[in-house]
Amino acid sequence: MSELTTVARPYAKAAFDFALEHGAVEKWHEMLVFAAAVAEDASMGAFLNSAETLDKKTEVFISVCGEQLDEKAQNLVRLMAENGRLKALPAVEKLYGELRSEHEKEVAVDVTSATKLTKKQQDNLAKTLEQRFSRKVKLNCSVDAGIVSGLMIKAGDTVIDGTVRGKLNRLAHALQS
């Protein structure tokens, strides 16, 4: 995956810079999400690996995307196809999303709890995390009964483990040391 990330980075950066310059950041994100979904499709993947000509692959890919892609996005697809990089579209979309979040001063936070959080709990948590990270927070909540109680919070490289399971694991490690 790191190879695809390296390949995708300049495309994502160029697409983001273009979208920012033309005030179309949201539109470009939608187009890249769609194109990435098409590229990840199993039948499209098989077609892209086939012995068809480059022009035919590009033509089919763009026709499948239809009107979901504007002329500029189609040019990006053509450029990536010419360089044999269509398989990197999902990584381009992911990196573009990260650039967009960074630009909008937003951070995606994964929150895992033992039980479903209420709307009020989510709002309070988001408010607290916004103060801690000095950014707008977008919560992605999930439930894992195995953590017993507490919260596991992941935001980028930051992990806050306030779960009972985590505390027990740290205690066990401390006792073994």
pLDDT (0 to 100) of residue 119: 92
Q: Which of 10, 3, 7, 2 is nearest to 99 (CA)?
A: 10
Same-domain status, 39 and 70: yes
Among 36, 71, 101, identify where a domain stops. Answer: 101
Q: Beta strand pairing status for 136-143 and 106-113?
A: parallel
Same-domain status, 132 and 91: no
What token pair was written down for 18?
């273009």
Q: What is the CATH number of the domain that holds 74?
A: 1.10.520.20
Same-domain status, 82 and 35: yes
Same-domain status, 67 and 134: no
pLDDT (0 to 100) of residue 124: 92
Among 48, 69, 101, identify where a domain stops. Answer: 101
- Domain with 73, as residue range(s), is 2-101
pTM of this prediction? 0.65
pLDDT (0 to 100) of residue 2: 65
Same-domain status, 35 and 84: yes
Among 71, 101, 131, identify where a domain stops. Answer: 101
Same-domain status, 88 and 8: yes
Same-domain status, 82 and 138: no
Rounded to an integer, what distance in angstroms lies between the CA atom of residue 68 and that of residue 58? 15
Q: Which of 41, 34, 30, 36 is nearest to 8 (CA)?
A: 36
Same-domain status, 64 and 146: no
Q: What is the pLDDT along the chain (177 residues), one digit of tens a residue?
A: 467 788 889 999 999 999 989 888 889 999 999 999 988 888 888 888 777 788 888 888 888 888 888 899 999 888 988 888 888 899 999 999 889 888 878 888 899 998 899 999 999 999 999 888 888 888 989 998 888 888 999 987 888 888 888 888 889 999 997
What single string gives the DSSP state of each residue in 77-114?
HHHHHHTT-GGGHHHHHHHHHHHHHHHTTEEEEEEEES
